[in-house]
A = this chain, B = another copy of it.
């Protein structure tokens, strides 16, 4: 038998960085960035696989150091900018690296406000929602995308689901009143690596929430498409939006055995199973 290594990549994942930027007086404000970085490198690394020859291997430990050292040496104000900086570094620095994928997951910190005044250095965190960025550099150039992970939204009206396929596997009745709860995973593709990443994020996130709240939903699918279209409307820096929106069911608890009508007030909260709705919207 002959066997061939037909694809490979390697890198460091889950590198966690906290960077404090101290602004001078008069503000003396601190900005704090908390990033988790995943790096994957492709290139001329087959010798390491086939012969254990590591002379071209940039150790994943060195990649980890690179995250911290470049964070020290460079100014940046978004996860996207940091992802671009790192991905570009690996391809530019090492001839054997032909492709670099860097993903950054930013934990969100909200600045404390006391009596309406922003605190210079205290923050509240704890959300599962994160801002994400992905930059890929390879022979075909540099591409950046941004995103949101873990945006939980729920509405207790304005969502129906009727007239779906009725066959022997169906037991779900048409529902004209249901809870619509989901955790939005979104990625948007920038048309330029020089885009204003922060402006886009600040434009898109509220639009997702607004459309979710206001759209009268005939299907999770329909709301997803409306959200994607609204994001494209909100930022001309992007031309494609991917959305993944699980339908996280609140199942009506059957009150009839206890002498009550089911009146869409009492639900069993579930994590599984979940519907999993996906769509990609492009500007045309």
Stretch at the interface among A77-85, A132-140, A269-277: A269-277
Give Cα A250 to B277, complex, Å.
27
Nearest first, the 7 closest Cβ-Cβ pairs linking A and B are A52-B218, A126-B152, A122-B213, A14-B272, A16-B269, A60-B275, A125-B152
A284 touches which one: B4, B56, B283 (CB < 8 A)? Answer: B4
Residues in B whose Cβ lies below 8 Å from that of A274: 12-14
Given contacts A121-B157, A156-B32, A171-B61, contact A15 B55 (CB under 8 A): no
B266 touches A68 (CB 8 A): yes
CB contact list, A200-249 vs B, under 8 A? 209-210, 212-214, 217-222, 224-225, 228-229, 232-233, 240, 246-247
Q: What is the distance, in angstroms, from A115's C-beta to the closest C-beta of chain B?
A: 9
What are 13 residue pairs bridging A and B, where the CB atoms are less than 8 Å apart in the complex? A12-B274, A13-B273, A18-B266, A22-B265, A48-B222, A51-B218, A59-B165, A69-B169, A69-B260, A114-B210, A120-B157, A122-B158, A171-B257
CB contact list, A252-275 vs B, under 8 A? 253, 255, 257-258, 260, 264-275
Closest to A52 in B: B218
B16 touches A268 (CB 8 A): yes
Q: What is the distance, in angstroms, from A197's C-beta to the closest C-beta of chain B?
A: 21
Q: What is the distance, in angstroms, from A130's C-beta to the closest C-beta of chain B?
A: 10
A62 touches B269 (CB 8 A): no
Q: How many monomers of this chain does the complex have?
A: 4
B282 touches A54 (CB 8 A): no
CB contact list, A85-140 vs B, under 8 A? 94, 109, 112, 114, 119-129
CB contact list, A180-216 vs B, under 8 A? 183, 209-210, 212-214
Closest to A30 in B: B156
Q: What is the distance, in angstroms, from A283's C-beta to the closest C-beta of chain B?
A: 6
Given contacts A10-B278, A45-B221, A62-B169, contact A126 B124 (CB under 8 A): no
B68 touches A268 (CB 8 A): yes
Give Cα A20 to B274, complex, Å.
21
Give Cα A36 to B270, complex, Å.
11
Query: What 1/0 flags go to A49-81 for Cβ under 8 Å of B?
Result: 111111111111111111011011000000000
Given contacts A57-B219, A219-B57, contact A7 B265 (CB under 8 A): no
A164 touches B222 (CB 8 A): no
Closest to A128 in B: B126
A112 touches B213 (CB 8 A): yes
Residues in B whose Cβ lies below 8 Å from that of A268: 16-18, 68
Q: What is the distance, in angstroms, from A205's C-beta to the closest C-beta of chain B?
A: 10
Residues in B whose Cβ lies below 8 Å from that of A255: 68-69, 72
